[in-house]
Amino acid sequence: MDGVSFTRQGRCQERDDVLGTTKPPLSLAWIASVLRQDGHDARIIDLTAAGKTVGELAHFLDEGQFAPTLIIFASCFPTWDADARAMGALKEKTGAPIISFGPHASAAPIDALKRAPVVDGVLVGEPEDGARALANLQPGENWSTVGSLCFRRGDDIVPCRESGRFGGFASAAGPDWGGTDFDHYRLPLVNAPYALVETSRGCPYTCDFCVAPLQQGHQFRERPAPAVVDEIERLQHERRLRYFYLWGDTVTLNQKSIGAIADELIRRRLGIRWIANARADNVTDPALVSRLRASGCWMLSFGIEASVPERRDEMQKRLPEPAIASAVANLRRAGIRSFAFFIFGYPGETLASMAATTDYACDLDIDFAGFYPAVPYPGTELGDRAAAVGWVTDPSDWRQLEYSHYAMKCGELTEASVLKAIARARRRFYLRPRYLARHAWELARIAATKPGITKHVVKQMLARRD
């Protein structure tokens, strides 16, 4: 979008410089898997990762190497308008209907189609079974038979009947990556290619700012540990990968299950390294954390969000303070890096409370900290409340719904004040002498392997000095 690379995978809808990497297109790989099982010729094309343009893709199609009859693309709130225009050019070139999925489609399907008249439909919820049903329709068969599809019929928009759920998730062997070049996807701290391996879907928690339940619901569903490790071993053997991102909203939610994955990895002696999203209150058992480390875990990320429990309670992020301290201590003791996330600009905050969160982050013994503005995504409780009371500065501008902007005005919270507080927090956290001494090698490696992203982040940190 406008020359900026974005990740559009699951709930992630951020610029690639947020975490320093483009994520592999896992959802498209799952869709390709179910379509190929039914005999369809499915291709995964990631223009962002490959650094290609839609024009170059159109030239590829002109050469007759592939003639799509259905185009399914991932998108998200901030890139939706630009993505739809780009895919519209492919539709004009091929005549194939274009269908999208992602947070925007699950949270605001009718609004998404109103904004993008060229798009034929959006899949609400998990896209796999809906994509399969669409691909298997006979010519002239009614699209209304696809329950999770919100689609255009003449001048009308037909709403979906249900939110999609991938019925084969728990029993699936894994996604089909096809010709995906994993060298395009590199972890910034190690500069090595990696793959996403999905362990679970759904989140039982009710954080009011999160879009994840809009796509995958609140029911927690898991794949068996042997199937997860089979997939890792297969990717290690076939793609020569050593690094993996165990993918799920909260991979450590079921401690028995993540323990079983760890034990299976240890038993097979694969020698791989992995990272995952966690919750602080899921890693308070030192013995479990030690098993995770022994299995190859080298970093866990988790949301802390605010410095005081009362603010977390307002966010419905019910996370007790002792659990945070215990999790951080366990990870440090085991030698697993910790990456904590903090939200700035939540309604009701003040400049003083954001400064207090900065102090709190610096006092914690964490390895990395991400400071992000609260984003009022439509469909979330926070987004709907912010829109209802008039906090959203421009509800029509979805481009603002990402971490480079603050899209609300609430009391003394403005885009300028919140982004200034975030820049100050980054400076304070990452420029501490003790921190620089401990992480000098890692910071130097990031600067050497990701110079563009490093320059952008440093520029953000220094642009809003007091």
**Domain 26-158 identical in fold to domain 185-463:** no
Q: What are phi and psi of 191, to 5 degrees?
A: 50, 45
Q: Is the pTM for the entire model greater than 0.85?
A: yes
- pLDDT over threshold 60, residue 421: yes
- pLDDT over threshold 70, residue 6: no
- pLDDT over threshold 60, residue 465: no
Predicted confidence (pLDDT) per residue in 189-240, tens digit = 899 999 999 999 999 999 999 999 999 999 999 999 999 999 999 999 999 9
- pLDDT over threshold 70, residue 9: no
- Return the pLDDT at 4: 43
- pLDDT over threshold 80, residue 160: yes
- Return the pLDDT at 444: 81
Q: What would the mean pLDDT of 292-300 be, rounded to a whole number? A: 98
CATH topology of domain 185-463: TIM Barrel (3.20.20)
Predicted confidence (pLDDT) per residue in 87-138, tens digit = 999 899 889 999 999 999 999 999 999 999 999 999 999 999 999 999 999 9
- Return the pLDDT at 448: 73
Distance CA 316, CA 19 (A): 25
CATH superfamily of 26-158: Cobalamin-binding domain (3.40.50.280)
- Return the pLDDT at 202: 94
Distance CA 199, CA 406 (A): 32
| Domain ranges (residues) in the chain | 26-158, 185-463
Predicted confidence (pLDDT) per residue in 342-381, tens digit = 999 999 999 999 999 999 999 998 999 999 999 999 999 9
Helices 451-463, 415-430: inter-axial angle, 10-degree rounding? 120
SS3 157: strand
State in Å, rounded, how far the first CA of the chain is from the last one.
31
Of 437, 374, 449, 450, the C-alpha closest to 408 is 374
Predicted confidence (pLDDT) per residue in 49-100, tens digit = 888 888 888 887 777 778 899 999 999 999 999 999 999 998 998 899 999 9
